[in-house]
Each structure stands twice: as structure tokens, then as C-alpha cells.
Amino acid sequence: MVTYQADGWIALGDPTRRAIFERLAEHPRAVGELARELPVSRPAVSQHLKVLKEAGLVLDRPDGTRRIYQLDPAGLEALRAQLDRFWTKALANYKAVAEQQAEEVS
């Protein structure tokens, strides 16, 4: 399982995949929609989605003739990505609050 878990983070190390992942976090999207929003071709988007799916980060489901992609809320990697975001933001808030108070005191 270690390999599988590492894959999730390697998958997110690529800037385009990161961009796709973050857009899917806003709401589920089809391949065409992602390709319109990003400066990459449709086949490239499909390839990136395949990597994200294999890493356990996203799920897909059919919707008529299209496939809709979304984050996998049951995936450990998606949970970690989410908590990483949460705590990074919390500690940035923390640093701002702590140092602002220190300035006010001095």
C-alpha cells in the first residue's frame, strides 16, 4: 500500500494535475470542460485524469455520452490533500495572529 500512497503525491506533484485536481474540488467536471479551462489538449487532460484515478484521487461516472470526474472522498490521498490544505491555512493564520500580537505588544 505504500506504493499506492506515494503515487497520490507524485500525481499531485505535476502542476497541470494539481490544477485539474483543484478544479474538480470545486465541482465535478467532464473532460471537455477541463480542457476548455486549462491550456492543455483534451487528450492530455484525459491522460492526467487517468493518473489521478489510478492514484485513488478521483472517481469517474458515466453521464450520457460523457464521463464526469470528481474527487474521491473515500480515498486516503484525497483526505490527506484536503487536510494538508486545511492545516497549511490554519498555520498561516496562526503565524499572522501570533506575530501581529507580538508587534502590538512591543
Partner 1 sequence: MTTQVQDTSVRIEVVVDVPIERAFAVFTEDFDSIKPREHNMLAVEIAETVFERREGGRIYDRGVDGSECQWARVLVYEPPNRVVFSWDISPQWQIETDREKTSEVEVRFISETPERTRVELEHRNLDRHGDGWESERDGVGGEGGWPLYVQRFAQLLKD
| Residue ranges that bind partner 1, judged by CB under 8 A | 2, 5, 9, 22, 25-28, 59, 61, 70-74, 76, 78-80, 82-95, 97-99, 101-102
Q: 29: which strand partners?
A: 69
User: Could you give the strand order of the β-sheet that contains 66-71, starting from the edge strand earlier in sequence?
Assistant: 29-30, 66-71, 58-63
Give the C-alpha distances (Å, rounded to integers) separating 25 from 48, 52, 58, 61, 79.
15, 13, 10, 16, 12
Provide the minimum distance between the beta carbon of 76 and partner 1 in the complex, in angstroms, as a whole number. 6
The residue among 41 and 93 lying less far from partner 1, judged by its C-beta, is 93
Which residue, 50 or 97, is less far from partner 1 as judged by CB?
Answer: 97
Minimum CB separation of residue 43 from partner 1 in Å reads 26
